[in-house]
Structure 1
């Protein structure tokens, strides 16, 4: 019996052992199947993915930035060029310890804290395999020091890149603008894919406005690298498409003549070809050298520019907003004629002041004793404030503002550059919306002489002058006249555009046109003593103006000799020439010049002389008064 039990127990043990062996075999088979399945997944199912990863370890795509387009004046003079320069770049994924690398580089290169901060900011914005600019404009000695220590500087490369240069310095800074390093704000507006490998972008002026045209399209190359990231060979290349070249309407010679004519005053000069709307000169003085901004201007130098009381960074021509003063009296006169509230022949006795019916306040004329009997022609020529107070009162702001608006007052001209401001065209609706106040009759009077709330830019005044020269025909003002695709291409002219014209009868245009001529060439005209009396070889149609810097009390007299120069009136002049076949329209603002006739008019005359001489319409001996 015991033998039988022992035999049964042995059978059970053998059975359990067989089950365990079977389970072990099944587990082993399952593990083998799992391993085979995983191998199949990796080698077959994910073959493409791991092939790509393998290739990426061996191959690299590197961007090739395009060459930036050049900028020329209307005669082919180069205003913005590309010069080869050495720059220091770091590829982060190859650099290892970035802080240690920067410490080593600081012993070889003069790196400012600002440059290091910009580099760190750029590192956060770029992909690790993209080179990041650390310093540009390296000299040969610095390049040599880095080359000697190259084995201790992983990820560091010295690249010869084209760098923007402005050969004329401050002369065109406010027109052309400048490029600077790409920052976070720029990245929000730029296509980062097309700016891979590009470190600079347009910041102001034409450089900014035409960024898409000037930049071009980024190319790329596929290279094979070793384990250390060194390039072994180049496999394929997709070349970049260079940026297009711009031909400005600016005449470089006239630009310098306008700058010289404006000296010693701060201010602005804008000259336009009335037939095409092309800007011939656009001067804002003082200017600044844009070249330091390309490499990264130091905080000290930038602070000096910002704190300069003459504000060289401020573009007075496009952004400066000033009362136009008497330069807008011809438009008010045209409104009076078109609205049938007056005639050219109507005469009034202009005393030294004007009073609204039922009001005690006296609105004084700039001439203490007044101008006596004046009609419209004489009122414009002598710039009678009292005549225009009366005309403004008869018109009312609701009929005056639309005519001013038709000339573009209170609206941006729409020039192809950055920084233009619209000015202010005051009206009943404007005051209600901005100040939530009602309009008063006295405000109409001071608006009629270009003071009060009204503000314009020198560019607007030049555009207004061009419209006067064209007898109401408006032409879109522009800085770029042609664009060229490739160095060997033919510049393609930009088409002209015509905003809505100013509608007025021919007889009324004749009245305004003759009055503007008389303001210069008649002995009683405000510009006769400064430019008309010299009997130029051509006739000028123009209007002087002064813009108050501060308001006078009713019983206060304006006396330059008792005022600080910074409180003097701004001097203005608008004009076109030759009067009967206009080739140029000019607006001049001389800050704190005091007198439009004495100061601004001769500046405009010199600009006109220079341009008409260049056209062969004025002999060299007749150029200056």
Structure 2
């Protein structure tokens, strides 16, 4: 404005001054008006939050049971009205009542949505996928409110399920189902519901004049023999309660007359799942456990009852769904006062199916009593089918002691906490170096690659230089003469370490570093066998990079480990001509009454990568291990009445005394009694020929004699099935009259004409 005034004044002055005497008007140049320029206006657009993203985040958290994540997406008002703990509890209780699946228990589809500036509603179809009630489908209307930069859920009870609006609740009423039994091959129960009695005694309350009756009665009712019970009594304090085990009510009834005469003996009845004979093959049959507080919600969602037991190990675990049956339940909707409004779902219960195993109870029981105090395993398997006839893991445990209904449960130590872990299944999960039994595999590799032939020879000395190192033979440690010149089969018969060091060295020199590995894998080592219970694969090295590694592998040492079951499977294949069968513990599965739903069929898993000619050479050498006067198992097995083949093994152990192995098979050709392969492992027991071979003899002898031929008294036994006491009892200690199986006097071994028997290997 000031500029405009100045311009007008200047114009007036110019008009006055510009008038000349001649009347001319002077022109004055006009100053232009300044131009004002305003900046262009800026428009800021704030995008509306994505309703679908908010709904998806809430529902995805629900789908994976992330209840805390769901709670964080509630509006401020919803969170003020409900604590996170209560929110989580409501969803968890619903999941339990519905028995929601853990994977995709909740699935959903957004049907529609309406959005206002500060509020929205999403319509969803929600599927509740359950273990017991199938799929329940509901439509949810989820209200959302805009807070800050996003949408938040305005929560109420009806967002769990529409029926729960207004304080309604779900209630599940569960129905128990009878658990299927587990039977031995002859139909005898291994695990079944039964009326049982826990047995124990207090030494100070026993009647001294009735001790003979006490010992014999207790031995008749339990797995212990008289001398063992006497040892337990002498080790206890007079007022101690000594747990002896359990018996069925029927067995107790058969001894009522004797029991009524005894003082200091305690009998406590209970009814539960009972494992007969103190547990036959307990690591393989398995045991039941109670649901822990930490796992309770998970098992309730699966349909279990709070006090129900479940399979924890062995067949009980592997066939939990089969044995437990289909759990039944009814799902009710109740109002806030507990009145039933409606029934939302129902499933009837159906009993579990029973399992008949391949285990022969008489053989299993006697072999369990044969290993004494050694940690170890025995596997007996039919060579032409893969049926497992006995499977022993030592030490043993009583699976009845996991039952709180059993009075002895209170006094027993948890088997998982006992030294040497008796619950651990050494037959399927123990992984050990195989030692000289692996020489069967190495011999096969030498023959199949053509590196050596049947008639090739080396001089088997006390030591040999291989891969630049001096390596020794077992004959040096045993202080016996060297084995001398041997063919390859004789090298196996004599278990000559130098022969197999040479095989390992020559395979490397010939550019065949993988030959031993490939052959081991071809024999089924380093991979699970496929047996029905949990197992470990062992370890066969992926490769060997040095000559030293290969010569150690050739004698079954170094990084390689195997399970006794794997060895039994490949020994059976050697016996039957080369077919690997999947070891099986199951003969049939089905209802107690009716047609089985599954019956055993042999299943081939492969063939040994060995020609018929070379396999015959190996078989012949395994026979010579026993029949040849210089064979490493001749002393122990030459007089067997059942035709055996085998291989001794002593596996070096960096943590103590060597492990003792024996692996072999029978060739009896009895149409009524299939031939078997038997593998014995004794941890830290020393020589395979001295310690494991006698157990092999017992297993074969029992099997073919109907359990009447014990083979021999084992090196650690005072008499059959009873471990020799460190302090021998007087010679007039009676042998228990209740010995549950006949025994026989061992046949003495005769030194064969024409030569002495050499010491066993390694």
Asked if TM exceeds 0.5, the reply is yes
The answer on whether the counterparts of 1:196 and 1:218 sit within 8 Å (CA) in structure 2 is no
Say how many residue pairs are matched: 472
Question: What pairs with 1:120-519 in structure 2 (closer than 5 Å)?
Answer: 163-183=272-292, 192-196=301-305, 199-220=308-329, 239-295=348-404, 305-356=415-466, 359=468, 361-368=469-476, 369-396=481-508, 397-418=513-534, 420-428=535-543, 439-490=545-596, 492-519=598-625
CA gap 1:296/1:401 in 2 versus in 1, 3 angstroms = farther
CA gap 1:607/1:207 in 2 versus in 1, 3 angstroms = same
Q: Deviations over 1:157-183 (max 9, x none)?
A: xxxx97322122243211111111124
For 1:362 and 1:207, the matched residues in 2 are separated by 51
CA gap 1:78/1:256 in 2 versus in 1, 3 angstroms = same
The answer on whether the counterparts of 1:277 and 1:477 sit within 8 Å (CA) in structure 2 is yes
- Structure 1 residue 338, shift from structure 2 partner: 0.7
CA gap 1:229/1:287 in 2 versus in 1, 3 angstroms = farther
Q: Whose relative contact order is higher, 1 or 2, with alpha carbons under 8 Å and at least 6 apart? A: 1
For 2:649 and 2:493, the matched residues in 1 are separated by 11
- Structure 1 residue 306, shift from structure 2 partner: 4.5
CA gap 1:306/1:52 in 2 versus in 1, 3 angstroms = closer
For 1:225 and 1:77, the matched residues in 2 are separated by 48
- Give 1:138's aligned residue: none
DSSP 3-state at the match of 1:295: coil
Say whether residues 1:547 and 2:656 are aligned partners.
no
DSSP 3-state at the match of 1:367: helix
- Give 1:600's aligned residue: 692
CA gap 1:193/1:311 in 2 versus in 1, 3 angstroms = closer
CA gap 1:518/1:318 in 2 versus in 1, 3 angstroms = same
CA gap 1:187/1:409 in 2 versus in 1, 3 angstroms = farther
State the TM-score, normalized to the length of structure 1.
0.68
Q: Which runs of 5+ in 1 are unaligned?
A: 1-45, 86-160, 430-438, 552-566
Q: Which runs of 5+ in 2 are unaligned?
A: 1-157, 197-269, 712-741, 748-762
Instruction: Give 1:571's match in structure 2, choosing from 656, 660, 677.
Output: 660
The structure with the greater share of residues assigned to strand is 2
Instruction: Give 1:522's match in structure 2, choosing from 610, 628, 635.
Output: 628
Alpha-carbon RMSD = 3.8
The structure with the greater share of residues assigned to helix is 1
For 2:414 and 2:598, the matched residues in 1 are separated by 41
For 2:299 and 2:745, the matched residues in 1 are separated by 48
For 1:226 and 1:189, the matched residues in 2 are separated by 26
DSSP 3-state at the match of 1:163: strand
- Determine which structure has more spread, i.e. the larger CA radius of gyration: 2
Q: Deviations over 1:358-378 (max 9, x none)?
A: x2x201111114311000121
DSSP 3-state at the match of 2:514: helix
The answer on whether the counterparts of 2:404 and 2:410 sit within 8 Å (CA) in structure 1 is no
Of 210-219 and 263-272, the range deviating more from structure 2: 263-272
The answer on whether the counterparts of 2:291 and 2:299 sit within 8 Å (CA) in structure 1 is no
The answer on whether the counterparts of 1:171 and 1:287 sit within 8 Å (CA) in structure 2 is no
Question: What pairs with 1:64-83 in structure 2 (closer than 5 Å)?
Answer: 64-83=175-194
State the TM-score, normalized to the length of structure 2.
0.56
DSSP 3-state at the match of 1:319: coil
For 2:328 and 2:388, the matched residues in 1 are separated by 35
CA gap 1:278/1:187 in 2 versus in 1, 3 angstroms = farther
- Structure 1 residue 84, shift from structure 2 partner: 6.8
DSSP 3-state at the match of 1:208: helix
